[in-house]
Amino acid sequence: MSILFECEYKGERYAGFDKPAPGRTQTLYRVSDGRLQAEFLAADGPEAVIASITAQAEQITVTAGDPELRYLPPLLPTASGNALLSGFMRTHKSKFDTEPSEDEEFVAPNWFFKGFGSWLKMPDQTLVVPEKPVALIEEPEVALVYVNDDQGAPHYVGYTFGNDLCDIGLHRENPGWNPYCKLCDTSIAPWLFLDEPPQSVTGQVTIERDGAAAWQGKFSCGGDSLYFKMQDMADHLFTYPAVRRPGMVNYVLLGADEASFHDGFRIADGDRVTIDVQSHDVVLSNVIQYGGRPTTA
C-alpha cells in the first residue's frame, strides 16, 4: 500500500512516499505548493504520480526526527487556502436499531461544516476548544481526500485519519447548536494512503490526565462499521456546487463510533488524547486546551 506525505524542511516544501522510522534516513522530493494536486489530476493512478515526482523532483536526505522537519496536512493548498473540512454524523451501525439492507433507499445522514483546511492540526499540536465546553468527545474517523479539477469535478486521491473533537454536550442540549459544537480544533494524520477507502479500521483511544491513563477504549471506523456506504455519502455531498469549486481540496470525515463520553468519561483541560489506529500503524496524540488563543504547538 502506497503512502504519501508532505512536509516543510528549512523553509521548502517536500513530499515523501514512506513512513519514517525513528533514527532512520528518508528521501524527500522538493515540490511546489499545488504540485501534487496537479499530478493527481493529470496522472493515471498513484503509481504514476509517485513515478513523476521521484523522477523529476530535486531530492534530499534527512533523518527522521530532525527538528527542522515539519509535517503538513496531506495536499493542503497553503497558498490559496482553498480547502474544506466537513463530515457526516450518526453513520455507524452501532447507532441504529437495525442492520442496513441492500435494497434500502439511501437517505443521506446529517452533514456538518467543520472548518477550513488551514484549521487542521498535526499530531502533537495542541487542540484548542471553547473556554467552557459542556462535554467534549474524541471522534476517531476516516477522512477521505478529494481534489477538484478545473471544472470542479472531485477526484478521490486517498484517505487518512482524524480526530473530530467536538462538544457533544452542547449538541445534546440543543441539536440546533451543532455548528457551535464543531468549533473545536481537528487533528489529522499526515499520512495519505493512496488506496480505496478502508473497510476495516480498528484501534484504541487512551486519554491521559496528569501523566497517567484515565480512560481507554476500542473503536472501529471503517466501511464495515458504517450503516451507510462511503460512496453513497460522498456522491450525495458532491451534488452541491459549493464543495465543487475548481481547485478545492475536500477532507471528508465519515463519522465515529461511541467513545469516552458514552462511557461516562469527561475530557478535561490539559488531557492528552491519543488515537492509535492499530490496523494502519497511525497515531494521533494531542493535548486539549480550553479557551485561549489558537496555538501551533
Q: Provide the pLDDT for residue 97.
A: 85
List b or e across 53-67, with b for residues whose CB sees 16 or more CB atoms inside 10 angstroms. beeebeeeebeeeee
Multiple choice CATH, 83-290, 3.90.850.10, 3.30.230.10, 3.40.50.300, 3.30.200.20: 3.90.850.10
H runs (alpha helix) in the chain: 35-42, 46-56, 168-173, 178-181, 230-237
- Look at residue 295 in the predicted model and tell me its pLDDT: 54
Name which residue leads in pLDDT, 98 or 285: 285
Decide if pLDDT at 160 tops 90.
yes
What band does 79 get if pLDDT is binned at 50, 70 and 90?
confident
% residues pLDDT > 70 (the chain)? 98
Return the C-alpha cell found at 2: 502506497
Is the confidence at residue 241, as pLDDT, over 90?
A: yes
Three-state secondary structure string covering 105-149: CCCCCCEEEEEEHHHEECCCCCEEECCCCCCEECCEEEEEEEEEC
> What phi and psi values does residue 294 have, to the nearest 5 degrees?
-55, 140
The answer, yes or no, to whether residue 297 has pLDDT greater than 70, is: no
Confidence of residue 293 (pLDDT cuts 50, 70, 90): low
| Average of per-residue pLDDT values in the chain | 94
CATH 3.90.850.10 in the chain, residue ranges: 83-290
Lookup result for grid cell 534516513: 25
pLDDT of 7 higher than 60: yes
Residue 1 confidence class, pLDDT cut points 50, 70, 90:
confident
Which residues of 200-243 form beta strands (DSSP E)?
202-209, 212-220
State yes or no: pLDDT of 207 exceeds 90: yes
Instruction: Give me the mean pLDDT over the 185-212 stretch.
Output: 97
The single-letter code of the amino acid at 38 is: A
Q: Taking 90 as the threshold, does the pLDDT of residue 34 lie above it?
A: yes
pLDDT at residue 296, rounded to an integer: 55
